[in-house]
C-alpha cells in the first residue's frame, strides 16, 4: 500500500530499492514539552465537521401538508359547531355541553389510539401506514359534514381521533429524514405547520359554513341539506392531497436492524419492546417533560383568550371579540415566524441545555405580566388601552413564543433519549398520547382556577391573582425534568463514546504484527486507513 509523505518522517527509509518506498502522512505533532500520551488520550479530541446537511424540504413536504391538515381539521369546527349542534335539535341550554363533547372527543381518542401506530409503522413501514391513514382521514373528514344528528357528529370526530397515527408517524419520519446537523431546522419547519392549519381553520370555517346563497347558488340542494359539508370537504381534500404527495415524494425511512453485535445493540435488546422503552430512564424523563410542557403550552392557549375576553372587574382585559381575534391572529403569525427564523439561530448560538432551559424559563417570566397588564388597563374602558399595555403585551407575546420553542427542541431530543432508532415510532406514539393528556388536563386546571379567582370580591385582593401563582407553579416541574433529561442524555452519549473507543482499540491490536512496528507504539485502524503514533508522539496515516 503506497504511502505519501507530507513532512519528514522519523522512521528510516528502506535500503532495498526494489521495495516500495514507505512514506507517512503526518497528522498531528504535539507541542514541545508535552507528556507522552496514552492511546486513549492521543485521539481523545474529536474533529467535528461544521458541514450541515441541507434539509430535504421536498421529501418532508407531504408531512408538512399532513400536519397542516391535522390542525385544519381540529380547529375548523370552532366557528360553527355551536350553531351546528343547535340545528341538530339540541336545546339551547345544552348546546355548550354537546359542543364541548364534539370538540374534545377527537383529542380523547387520539390519546388512546396513538400508541397503536408505533408498532404498526415498525412492522409494515412508515410510508404505507401513512398513506392509508391519510386516505381514511380524508374520508372521515368529509363524512363529518354529512352528519345529521349530534351522535353521528361525535362519532366521526372520534373516528378522526382514532387516526392519530398521522401525527405520530409524520413526526417520526421528519426525525429519520433529517440527521443531527439539520434536525433542528427540519423540526423548526415541521412544528409550526400545525399552527398554520389552526390559524387558517377559523377563517375558513366561518366563511365556508352555510355557503348556499353566498358562495354557491341556492339551487345546489346538497349544500342546503348539508350546510356544513363545504368546510368538511376542504379538510378532507387537504388530507387526500397529503396522501397523494406521500405517494409521489415520500420515501420509506424505516431502517431494519442488521444484527450488529456491538454493546449498543445489546443495550437496545435489553430495552426492546414497549415495556423496555418505558423502563428506559432517559425516555421516561423526556416523556414526562413532553406531557408537562404541552400542559403548560395549551394552558396558555386556554387562559389567554379567556383573560382577554373577561371584563376588567373580574380580572381580565375586557377586549371585544374583533380586537381579541386580531391579537390572537398576530400571536399565531408571530409563532410561525419566530419558530422558522429565530429558533434555529438561538439554538445554534446556545448549547442544548442552555437553549432548553431558556425556553422553559420564558413561560413563568411571561406569566408575571398578566397581573401587570390588568393593573395598567384597569382605569381604561373597552379596547382603548394605554400604549404601555400594548408594548408590554408584545413583550409578553414574544417571551411566550420563546417558551413554545421547547416543543420544537423536544421533538428533536426524542432521538437522543431512546435506546435506538428502531424505537422512534413507538416513542413518538407514546409521547403523542401523553401530550394529548397534558393538553386536556392543563387547560382544565388553569380555567378552573381562573373561574375560582373571579369569585373574590375585591379586584385587588391576592385571591384574584391566585391563578397566576398556580400557573407559575405548573411551570416549575418541567425545569426539573429538563435537567434530568439533559444529564441522562449526556451520560448515555459518554458511555457510547467509551464503548466506541474500546472497540476501536480492540481492532488496533490486530495490526501490530502486520505493520512491523514496536508493540508499545499506538496503531489505529479506521476502515481502509491505519494510523500510527510512535514513541516520538507523531501520528501517521497509511493512505
| 496 pLDDT tier (thresholds 50, 70, 90) | low
E strand spans, 274-338: none
pLDDT at 119: 81
pLDDT at 316: 87
pLDDT at 413: 80
Q: Collapsing DSSP states into helix, strand and coil, what is residue 540?
A: strand
Residue 514: pLDDT above 60?
no
CB-CB contact of 185 with 339 (8 Å)? no
Nearest alpha carbon to residue 73 among 276, 281, 310, 238: 238
| 529 pLDDT tier (thresholds 50, 70, 90) | very low
Answer whether 0.75 is exceeded by the pTM.
no
pLDDT tens digits for range 193-235: 887 887 787 778 878 888 988 888 888 889 899 999 999 999 9
| CB crowding 484-493: b at 16 or more within 10 Å, else e | bbbebbeebe
pLDDT at 66: 93
| 38 pLDDT tier (thresholds 50, 70, 90) | very low
pLDDT at 325: 67
Tell me the C-alpha distance between 529 and 478, whole Å. 47
Residue with cell 405580566: 369
| 256 pLDDT tier (thresholds 50, 70, 90) | low
pLDDT tens digits for range 136-158: 999 999 999 999 999 999 999 99
CATH no. for 278-508: 1.20.1250
Q: What's the length of the chain? A: 543
Q: For the chain, what are the domain ranges?
A: 54-252, 278-508
Residue 269: pLDDT above 50?
no
Q: Which residue has the higher pLDDT, 199 or 330?
A: 330
Mean pLDDT, all residues of the chain: 76
pLDDT at 35: 44
pLDDT tens digits for range 344-382: 888 888 888 889 999 999 999 999 999 999 999 988 877
Please calculate the CA angle 127-129-134 and round it to the nearest 5 degrees.
95
CATH 3.40.50.800 fits 54-252, yes or no: no
Q: Which residue has the higher pLDDT, 95 or 445?
A: 445
pLDDT tens digits for range 53-74: 888 999 999 999 999 998 888 8
Q: Are strands 539-542 and 25-28 parallel, antiparallel or unpaired?
A: antiparallel
| 131 pLDDT tier (thresholds 50, 70, 90) | very high
pLDDT at 205: 82
54-252 and 278-508, same CATH topology: yes
Residue with cell 426525525: 175
Residue 469: pLDDT above 80?
yes
| 523 pLDDT tier (thresholds 50, 70, 90) | very low
> What is the pLDDT averaged over residues 506-513?
48
| Residue 25: alpha-carbon gap to chain centroid | 45
pLDDT tens digits for range 470-488: 999 999 999 888 887 777 6
pLDDT tens digits for range 237-248: 999 999 999 999
> What is the pLDDT averaged over residues 3-19?
47
Nearest alpha carbon to residue 190 among 297, 303, 296, 59: 59
Q: Which residue has the higher pLDDT, 493 or 148?
A: 148
> What is the pLDDT averaged over residues 324-335?
77
Task: Give the DSSP per-residue string, 347-406.
Answer: HHHS-HHHHHHHHHHHHHHHHTHHHHHHHHHTTS-TT---HHHHHHHHHHHHHHHHHHHH
pLDDT at 118: 79
Task: Return the DSSP state at 254.
Answer: -
pLDDT at 194: 82
C-alpha cell at 327: 391579537
CB-CB contact of 4 with 23 (8 Å)? yes
pLDDT at 257: 56
CB-CB contact of 193 with 89 (8 Å)? no
pLDDT at 520: 47
pLDDT tens digits for range 167-180: 888 888 998 898 88
Amino acid at each position: 500500500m503506497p504511502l505519501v509523505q507530507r513532512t519528514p518522517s522519523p522512521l528510516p527509509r528502506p535500503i532495498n530499492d526494489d521495495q516500495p518506498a514507505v512514506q507517512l502522512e503526518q497528522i498531528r505533532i504535539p507541542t514541545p514539552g508535552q507528556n507522552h500520551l496514552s492511546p486513549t488520550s492521543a485521539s481523545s479530541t474529536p474533529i467535528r465537521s461544521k458541514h450541515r446537511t441541507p434539509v430535504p424540504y421536498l421529501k418532508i413536504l407531504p408531512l408538512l401538508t399532513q400536519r397542516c391538515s391535522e390542525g385544519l381539521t381540529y380547529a375548523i369546527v370552532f366557528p360553527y359547531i355551536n350553531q351546528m349542534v343547535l340545528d341538530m335539535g339540541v336545546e339551547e341550554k345544552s348546546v355548550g355541553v354537546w359542543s364541548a363533547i364534539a370538540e374534545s372527543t377527537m383529542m380523547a381518542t387520539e390519546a388512546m389510539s396513538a400508541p397503536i401506530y408505533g408498532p404498526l409503522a415498525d412492522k409494515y413501514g412508515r410510508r404505507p401506514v401513512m398513506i392509508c391513514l391519510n386516505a381514511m382521514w380524508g374520508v372521515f373528514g368529509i363524512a363529518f359534514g354529512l352528519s345529521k344528528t349530534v351522535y353521528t357528529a361525535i362519532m366521526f370526530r372520534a373516528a378522526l381521533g382514532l387516526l392519530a397515527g398521522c401525527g405520530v408517524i409524520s413526526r417520526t419520519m421528519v426525525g429519520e429524514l433529517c440527521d443531527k446537523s439539520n434536525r433542528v431546522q427540519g423540526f423548526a419547519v415541521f412544528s409550526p405547520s400545525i399552527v398554520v392549519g389552526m390559524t387558517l381553520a377559523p377563517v375558513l370555517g366561518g366563511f365556508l359554513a352555510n355557503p348556499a346563497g353566498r358562495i354557491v347558488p341556492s339551487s345546489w340542494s346538497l349544500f342546503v341539506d348539508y350546510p356544513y359539508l363545504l368546510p368538511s370537504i376542504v379538510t378532507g381534500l387537504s388530507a387526500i392531497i397529503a396522501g397523494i404527495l406521500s405517494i409521489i415524494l415520500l420515501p420509506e425511512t424505516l431502517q431494519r436492524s442488521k444484527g450488529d453485535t456491538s454493546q449498543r445493540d445489546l443495550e437496545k435488546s435489553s430495552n426492546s419492546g414497549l415495556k423496555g422503552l418505558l423502563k428506559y430512564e432517559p425516555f421516561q424523563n423526556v416523556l414526562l417533560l413532553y406531557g408537562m410542557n404541552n400542559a403548560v403550552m395549551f394552558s396558555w392557549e386556554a387562559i389567554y383568550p379567556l383573560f382577554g375576553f373577561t371584563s376588567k372587574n373580574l380580572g381580565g382585559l375586557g377586549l371585544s371579540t374583533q380586537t381579541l381575534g386580531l391579537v390572537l391572529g398576530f400571536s399565531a403569525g408571530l409563532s410561525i415566524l419566530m419558530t422558522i427564523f429565530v429558533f434555529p439561530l438561538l439554538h445554534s448560538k446556545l448549547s442544548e441545555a442552555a437553549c432548553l432551559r431558556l425556553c422553559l424559563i420564558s413561560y413563568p417570566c411571561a406569566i408575571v405580566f398578566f397581573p401587570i397588564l390588568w393593573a395598567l388597563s384597569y382605569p381604561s374602558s373597552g379596547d382603548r388601552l394605554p400604549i404601555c399595555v400594548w408594548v408590554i403585551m408584545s413583550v409578553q407575546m414574544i417571551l411566550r413564543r420563546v417558551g413554545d420553542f421547547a416543543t420544537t427542541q423536544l421533538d428533536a431530543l426524542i432521538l437522543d433519549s431512546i435506546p435506538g432508532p428502531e424505537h422512534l415510532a413507538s416513542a413518538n406514539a407514546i409521547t403523542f398520547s401523553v401530550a394529548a393528556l397534558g393538553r386536556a388536563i392543563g387547560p382544565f386546571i388553569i380555567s378552573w382556577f381562573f373561574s375560582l379567582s373571579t369569585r373574590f370580591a375585591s379586584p385587588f385582593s391576592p385571591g384574584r391573582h391566585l391563578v397566576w401563582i398556580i400557573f407559575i407553579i405548573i411551570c416549575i416541574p418541567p425545569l426539573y425534568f429538563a435537567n434530568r433529561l439533559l444529564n441522562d442524555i449526556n451520560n448515555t452519549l459518554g458511555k457510547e463514546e467509551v464503548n466506541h473507543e474500546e472497540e476501536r482499540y480492540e481492532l488496533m491490536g490486530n495490526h501490530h504484527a502486520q505493520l512491523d512496528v514496536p508493540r508499545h507504539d499506538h496503531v489505529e485502524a479506521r476502515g481502509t486507513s491505519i494510523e500510527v503514533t510512535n514513541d516520538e508522539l507523531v501520528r501517521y496515516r497509511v493512505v
